[in-house]
Amino acid sequence: MKKPMKPPSLISLKKALSLDRAAIRELHKTYLNAGLVTMLSLLDFDRPFVRAQGVSVWDREGREYLDFLGGYGAVNLGHNHPKVLEAIEMARGMPNLLQASLGALPAALAHNLALITPGKLERSFFCNSGAEAVEGALKLARIATGRQGLIYCHNAFHGKTMGALSVTGREKYQDPFRPLIPHCNPVPFGDAEALEKALKPRQAAAFIVEPIQGEAGIILPPPGYLQKAWELCRHYGTLFIADEVQTGFGRTGYLFACEAEGVEPDIMCLAKSLGGGVMPIGCYITTDEVWKKAYGSLEKSLLHTSTFGGNAMACAAALAAIEAIFEENLVERARETGSYLMEGLQRLQERFPLLKEVRGRGLMVGVEFNPQAGLASKVTLGLADKLAKEYTASLVAGELLNRYGIITAYTLNNPNVIRLEPPLVVTREQVDRLLQALEDILERHRSFTSIAATGAKTVIRSLFRRR
């Protein structure tokens, strides 16, 4: 008889919860993304947080931080919303994954989404993330129309899986993985004339667009652009896909951002806050007409599936999240608090030339800075200049985190823009704390040489501390 296998030296959950900062960093360096560890460590962004509630998170020393990043739009309800946690507990004990059955919770969630989404959107497909929702939407458009072409916008961000990456408008992310999906053509965001030119050959299955470009630096379209784009798509037989992964569920002061112009998409992609900031869940929702063309027959019904899509706990979280958005009037709160935030930022912009532009809608706001060339410093051996040119917003974000306890981040396609996307439950008092912190930073650093030097000092301290 064989001896029982000796168990490996596993890290238990209890031990994992007690790991210190150095141990966490070392595990990430060895078993996850070492480059990311280096990036986060340089500006002290690698600190572990141990508790979160609403807009606040706490580190091991008990220091409270305000989360103005909000999971890139995934934490609209705030961290660990009690209604969402209660819903998951209610679903505990149900079969979470049982594919040879029809679940009650995905059925209820699909019904609710059909009620709250614009136009004739009716049939949902559940998955696990925004990128998966985009993948499914692109496939849906191709099979429903019989066309291959896909049109997207410069500087768009729709995800990093192969199909989503093919319609993500930044070469930095695309080039290492070419060849991508064929027949994907970019057009300038906000240019209806360029879009019509791309649509005229009638080869495009879909035009996919963010109602507000998030990773491009919180870029709003020109007034009337979305409606014109929607009308052009209808004229040329191309499906209009609204990517509301980041803008959906009240973020912009509308339940869905495309409603600002009365647009009724053929397909809408959802994720992030659909799971209440607790569970991963994504979805695309489409019209009955489009769905039937794509998957309406028995032989086509299993052409696109997801093992974890529509699992009970994720759907329970989503059901509770949607209820909470309405019960707590979060759409209106986002609109009102967002206006208050924008007004405060615009006052700062009038006083400080280093603020190039403030833009956004609701609680989806971008603050763009004026990076200045020629900031090289002998003290930092040119590091200050490099940081200012390439990581302007990161330097300000580092100041906000380390000195003021406010969590922010720059946008992926424009590193000079800080995104402000706090949970929609954020208060005016918490907004005031952010505004005061930014004012203090701008008062102390009248030129970006000073900010860059401060960031460089943080980098140098970090490097010495890790030796």
Q: Among all residues, which ones are annotated catalytic?
A: 157, 243, 272
Torsion angles phi and psi, residue 284, rounded to 5: -115, 150
Beta-bridge mates of residue 39? none
Residue 282: Cβ within 10 Å count: 27
Q: Name the one residue in this structure whose structure tokens are 């603050």.
A: 367
Distance of CA 120 to the CA centre of its chain: 26
Write the DSSP string, 159-172: -SSHHHHHT---HH
- What residues contact residue 316 under an 8 Å CB cut-off, 6+ apart? 87, 88, 90, 91, 105, 279
Distance of CA 17 to the CA centre of its chain: 26
| CA atoms 167, 171, 174, 179: torsion sign | positive
- What residues contact residue 153 under an 8 Å CB cut-off, 6+ apart? 169, 186, 187, 188, 189, 209, 210, 213
